[in-house]
Amino acid sequence: MSIFAWIVVGTIGGFIGSLVVNKRGQGILGDLFFGVIGAVVAGWIFNAFGHPAVTGINPDSILASAAGTILVLVAYHVLRSSPARA
């Protein structure tokens, strides 16, 4: 898959995932960043189980990217909200 397709799928999946996690999104750059990371995470997880997840600009890839984005955002919010350790 081309880098352009990863960016498109990641942006759409990031937008959907960020709306699910915090209802207002992360802004266009945040959605893009977390979406592409989420697409990579989803691709890695799905491939580990023998199923290609992000294969192009299609509904399955967008849903996989959104699921990956949700995982990444939940981890981000958990790590960001944890108390500072001295």
Each domain of the chain, given as residue ranges in start order, spans: 3-80
Spell out the per-residue pLDDT of the chain, length 86, in tens: 677 887 788 888 888 888 888 766 667 787 778 888 888 888 888 888 887 767 778 888 888 888 888 888 888 888 877 665 54
According to the 3-state scheme, what is the secondary structure of 2-18? CHHHHHHHHHHHHHHHH
CB of 14 closer than 8 Å to CB of 34: yes
Torsion of CA 42, 82, 19, 64, to 10 degrees: 10
